[in-house]
A = this chain, B = another copy of it.
Amino acid sequence: MTVTDHRETLRSAYRQVRSTTTRLCEPLSAEDYVVQSMPDASPAKWHLAHTTWFFETFLLQPECPGYKPYHPAFAVLFNSYYQGVGPQFSRPRRGLLSRPTVEEVLNYRREVDRAMDELFTDLPSDHFAEIAPRIELGINHEEQHQELLCTDLLHMFAQNPLDPEYQSSARWTPAKEHPFAWSPEFDAGLWEIGAQGSHFFFDNEGPRHKVYTEAFQLGNRLVTAGEYLNFINDGGYTTPSLWLSEGWAAVNTNGWSAPLYWNKSADGEWTMMTLMGRVPVDKHRPVCHVSHFEADAYARWAGARLPLESEWERAAHFIESQIQPQKTSIVGNFLDSGLLHPTSPSNSTSPIAQLFGDTWEWTASAYLPYPGFQPAAGAIGEYNGKFMSNQMVLRGGSCATPQRHIRTTYRNFFPSSARWQFAGIRLAK
């Protein structure tokens, strides 16, 4: 690709990610942008502003000498956690900010987009080549916040007894059954995992390195809500021997008796809150909004276990190279489908369906640095490395992940108790 082509490709990707973010907000009323429904979630308005702040802080300010920050206070208000850039407004207090208004934030976005467009146009090639990786990082960063926008909106609406619908419940249809089977066995052996090369990937995906993996099999699809109901009805949430000690404590402290957003009516019917409002639990769709503790307990109950991230990546590489070699991009139920909920792979003939999309898959691997991992220099180096403690790896993306964003080597991570992401269960043995 020529430098000019690269520049235009990136400009196009930039424009697309920016317009997708605002489009995702179109169904919202001004009031919906403000609420922070828990410390881990952020208001929609904050996502809109923070992603903009990223481009302003890491591109416009250092690279465009004449650039004047849109508002002096935004540097603190919309910094998430970059200590190297300065102080941050207290995270659990993001929902206390009625100002700037949505209109002002959208204006902030427009101003930064205008300045970025000038940067795309005006920057000399050498300079542009130098900063292109940072632009790509900003785009990927905003893609991540598109997913969080969805999960945070769902969490907010789920607190509301009015069961608001982000999009019409008329979109909801029951899914078809896809029978469970174990995949063919993968042989034991030394294998390389992790990213390398010139395409974009996060620092935590590398370096590429060798791992030894025992022989294993994966489930041919995600665990379904119907299977999970069997676990519930079999006393899964009341049997301590199925749980990690911390998981059992979480069950009891939080009163968990089903996935997040599930409710059982007085007459025994299960419903769940989704971005389409409250709908019946669908047995054939993947269970999601479970914690790592629940995924682990379910797997133990089912006589299986969760996959290691190295197993998952090996399987994903196999699927990519053997099953779908003709595909130029990853196939699955992503944000792009607009469904915004996992569904059944009923039409798939893959021996391991749903590896990508639908729900993130909790692995049995702690989120730790790969051998030889080095974070990037400067504040941008705070992106991934400093979170490498007490979190578990999830793989494969979800129905709220932009399709462009996911990779075979992609490592997502959340604490074992997190439930508000679209996270589900893949069995291994």
Contacts and interface: CB of A to CB of B under 8 A. Distances in A.
A366 B368 CA distance: 8
A106 to B, nearest CB: 12
A69 to B, nearest CB: 14
A188 B416 CA distance: 32
Contacts of A372: 214
A97 B45 CA distance: 15
B243 A386 contact: yes
Contacts of A81: 245
A96 interface: yes
A81 B159 CA distance: 19
Given A83-B241, A244-B387, A364-B368, A31 B211 contact: no
Interface stretch (A33-41, A107-115, A168-176, A326-334): A33-41
Q: Is the interface of A mostly helix, strand, loop or mixed?
A: mixed
A323 interface: no
A160 B96 contact: yes
A91 B101 CA distance: 25
A159 B386 contact: no
A93 B101 CA distance: 22
- Size class of the contact patch on chain A: 35 or more
A125 interface: no
A179 interface: no
Contacts of A308: 371
A89 interface: yes
A209 interface: yes
A244 B31 contact: no
B247 A389 contact: yes
A1 interface: no
B190 A99 contact: no
A162 B73 contact: yes
Given A190-B190, A190-B212, A246-B390, A98 B32 contact: yes
